[in-house]
Structure 1
Amino acid sequence: MGCLQSKEKEENNQVQGDKDPPKTYSWDKREKVNPADFTIENISGQEVGRLPGTINGQQFIIQNCQSSKIYLFDYINTITVDDCSDCIIFIGPTTGSLFLRDCHDCVIMAACGQFRTRDCCKMDVFLLCQTQPIIEASTKMRFGCFQAYYPQLADHFTKAKISIFNNNWSNIHDFTPVEGETNWSSVSQNSALVEVFKLPKSEDFKSVGLSLDTNMSIVPYSLGSPVYGTQEATLIIFFYDASYKQRAINFITLLRTEVTNCVIQHSREVKMEVADAQRVFRTSEYNSVISQGPVIALLCLGNGVMEASSAIAAQVNSSSTSQTVYVTSDSNTSNQQIDAFFSYASMSMSL
Structure 2
Amino acid sequence: QYKAADVSPWNNTWGNIHDFTSIPGANNYSLLDPNENLFKYLPIPLDPSCSHLNINDNMETSITPFTYGELYRNRNEERCLVVFFHHSNADSCARELIAMTKQSQLVLVQTKCYLINEMSASRLFSGNSAYNSLVTKGPVIGLEFAGTNCVQICQQLLNDFIKLKYQNLPYFTSQSATDAHEQLDKFYNFASMQMFA
Q: 1:276 to 1:188 in 2, by over 3 A?
A: farther
Q: What SS does the aligned partner of 1:161 have? A: coil
| Residues 1:217 and 2:62 aligned together | yes
Structure with greater helix share of residues: 2
Q: In the alignment, residue 242 of structure 1 is paired with which amino acid?
A: S
Q: In the alignment, residue 196 of structure 2 is paired with which amino acid?
A: S
Output the CA distance in 2 between the equivalents of 1:279 and 1:220.
27
Aligned equivalent of 1:249: 95
In angstroms, what is the RMSD of aligned CA positions? 2.4
| Among candidates 21, 31, 40, match of residue 195 of structure 1 | 40
| Residues 1:183 and 2:28 aligned together | yes
Structure with bigger gyration radius: 1
Q: 1:323 to 1:278 in 2, by over 3 A?
A: farther
Q: In the alignment, residue 135 of structure 2 is paired with which amino acid?
A: I
Aligned equivalent of 2:110: 266
Tell me how many residue pairs correspond in the alignment: 194
Aligned equivalent of 2:134: 289
Output the CA distance in 1 between the equivalents of 2:52 and 2:16.
34
Aligned positions of 1:65-144 closer than 5 A? none
Deviations 1:260-311 (A, max 9, x none): x321111100111111111111111211111111101011011232222112
Shift of 1:163: 0.8
Aligned equivalent of 2:124: 280
Stretches of structure 1 that go unaligned for 5 or more consecutive residues are 1-155
Q: In the alignment, residue 270 of structure 1 is paired with which amino acid?
A: Y
Stretches of structure 2 that go unaligned for 5 or more consecutive residues are none
Aligned equivalent of 1:342: 188
The two structures have a TM-score, normalised by structure 1, of 0.50
Q: What SS does the aligned partner of 1:159 have? A: coil
Q: What SS does the aligned partner of 1:248 have? A: helix
Aligned equivalent of 2:7: 162
Aligned equivalent of 1:307: 152
Q: 1:305 to 1:194 in 2, by over 3 A?
A: farther
Q: Is the 8 A contact 2:112 2:143 kept in 1?
A: yes
Shift of 1:235: 0.4
Q: Is the 8 A contact 1:188 1:223 kept in 2?
A: no
